[in-house]
Amino acid sequence: MTLSRRKLLGGSLVAGVAALGRKAGAAPTPATPTVPPPPPGKPGRSSLVVPNGSILAAQKRSTTRDGATRVYHLTAGPIKHELAPGLVIDTWGYNGTTPGPVIEAIEGERVRIYVTNQLPEATTIHWHGVFVPNGMDGVAGLTQPAIAPGKTFRYEFVFDRAGTFMYHPHADEMTQIALGMMGMIVVHPRRPDRIERDYALFAHEMKVAIGTRRVDPMAMNDFNVLTFNGKAFPATAPLVAEVGDRVRIRLANLGPMDHHPIHLHGHAFEVVATDGGPVPTSARHPETTVLVPTGTTRTVEFVASLEGDWPLHCHMTHHAMNQMGHDVANLIGVDTTGLDAKLGRVVPGYMTMGHEGMGEMATMRMPQPKNAISMLGGAGPHGMIDMGGMFTILQVRARLPADGTAPGWYAAPADTVAAEATPQDLARDGIVLPRGG
């Protein structure tokens, strides 16, 4: 039996789990509020959305005298994965994807998770941030024998606190995490906060040499494919919200080497929780960028207030590019006319790239080696968006299409879009242009 998200958060199940956690006759203890109350008039619902990803369906739910147990099955193995149109890699993941599907549960719930190893080497799973009995912690050699290829292990524990956590191997971590083996765990409180939009985004970085299809697990720098939920822009699915919605974004990072300062345009948010637990209200403060160190989760919340298409991206500029090569000569400002003329004789139409900046290269039509997305950009409503990698868009609208379809590009009101200044503008404001300007 598979349980839909709706059933998982269905009233009867929530009530049942809550009842399990109470001693008979004891009055329910109100949960400490971890977020300010929502604006009035909004329905109290919570619905996790994983852009470009999925939520792991339970295999079964059984009830014993110990309470209800939810059963899951994760299979670690080789996968084929599209990072963006034009770049398909052979790598490793869970249940056919990287990152693996999100495990979603309710605080107090017991889970039994079977892990089948179809990799060519041994693995384990560690439940990062979840407090489990020591023998369930998933550290090869220390808390359990490694899961040999072809074997299936059983993990069983209780999600004893709400929050955003992760799962990943703790055996040959350097290789297995680099290749994409990771997933998010979302544990909802028994009394869910009212929130209109609840998103999960897993950040990762890979090095895939241009024209190849294997991730280089030895890379310590020069990562050239940066992803949210396994996709590089323009393949990242946008996030949507209506004006007035409370929005929660759960960010996780298991990149091998880098921290990511994730920046949101148009809004300020507060970090309300980490994988260590909720941030006390007194310690919260407004930010527009949150550093998500590797090996952590950061959960931010805000109220969508300004209509538009707002970037949400890593602010490390090389992390918002696709297969940016770094072993290239610096040609900025170089006069390449002579070079182009000479090379044009042997390579018709040759043009040296990069002497007027890199943005010119962001085209979806630039000739590419097979299986490469060097400098791939996205088509925007005003031309090419010369970004890639860890970049997505938050689309805020007064009202979203009722049928759940994508809202399309934002239609900005007249006179609110930057445009070329007219001679009348310049004269009115006394702007004198530099010669040649």
For the record, the structure tokens of 368 come out as 């590419």
Could you say which of 319, 324, 368, 393 contacts Cu ion (CB under 5 A)?
A: 319
E strands in 163-295: 163-168, 183-188, 197-206, 225-228, 239-242, 246-253, 260-264, 270-274, 277-278, 289-292
Smallest separation (angstroms) from Cu ion to the CB of 259: 7
What's the CA gap between 204 and 236, in Å, rounded? Answer: 13
Question: Which of residues 55 and 208 has its CB atom nearest to Cu ion in the complex?
Answer: 208
- Of 55 and 324, nearer to Cu ion (C-beta) is 324
Q: What is the DSSP string of 140-157?
A: BTTTB--B-TT-EEEEEE
Binding to Cu ion by CB under 5 A, coded x per residue (else -) over 231-270, reads -----------------------------x----------
Nearer residue to Cu ion within complex by CB, 50 or 316: 316
Nearer to Cu ion, 181 or 316 (CB): 316
User: Minimum distance between the CB of residue 254 and Cu ion, rounded to whole angstroms?
Assistant: 13
Q: Which string of b and e fits 365-388 if b means at least 16 CB within 10 Å?
A: eeebeeebbbbbbbeeeeeebbbb
Question: 139: which residues sit within 8 A by CB, 6+ positions away?
Answer: 124, 126, 170
Tokens at 355, concatenated: 């002497």
With CB under 5 A as the rule, give the number of residues binding Cu ion.
4
Q: Output 250 or 260, the one with its CB closest to Cu ion.
A: 260
The token duo for 163 is 């929050």
**CA 77 to CA 169: how far, in whole Å?**
12
- Work out whether the CA dihedral 174, 178, 179, 181 comes out positive or negative: positive
Closest CA relative to residue 256, chosen from 321, 182, 201:
182
Considering only 162, 195, 316, 394, the residue that binds Cu ion (CB under 5 A) is 316
Binding to Cu ion (CB under 5 A) within 335-354 occurs at none
**Nearer to Cu ion (CB atom), residue 113 or residue 320:** 320
First to last CA, the chain: 68
Least distance in angstroms from the C-beta of 33 to Cu ion: 32
Cα distance between residue 145 and residue 138, in whole Å? 9
CB of 255 to Cu ion, least distance (A): 8
Which residues in the 296-315 window bind Cu ion by CB under 5 A? 314
d(CA 214, CA 144): 30
Which amino acid would we find at residue 324?
M
| CB-based contact 252:64 (threshold 8 Å) | no
| Minimum CB–partner distance for residue 388 and Cu ion (Å) | 12
| Residues contacting 67, CB < 8 A, separation 6+ | 20, 110
Q: How far is the CB of 350 from Cu ion (least distance, A)?
A: 34
397 near Cu ion, rule: CB under 5 A: no
In the bound state with Cu ion, the residue whose beta carbon lies nearer, of 58 and 292, is 292
In whole angstroms, how close is the CB of 380 to Cu ion at the nearest point? 21
Q: Which is nearer to Cu ion, 240 or 375 (CB)?
A: 375
Question: What's the closest the beta carbon of residue 298 comes to Cu ion, in angstroms?
Answer: 13
Minimum distance from CB of 319 to Cu ion (Å)?
3
Q: What DSSP string runs through 96-114? A: TBSSPPBEEEETT-EEEEE
Taking contact as CB under 5 A, which single stretch among the options 132-140, 228-236, 238-246, 319-327 is the one that binds Cu ion?
319-327
CB of 256 to Cu ion, least distance (A): 12
Q: Which is nearer to Cu ion, 115 or 290 (CB)?
A: 290
Element holding 345 (H helix, E strand): helix 337-346
Q: Which is nearer to Cu ion, 287 or 340 (CB)?
A: 287
- Contact positions vs Cu ion (CB under 5 A): 260, 314, 316, 319
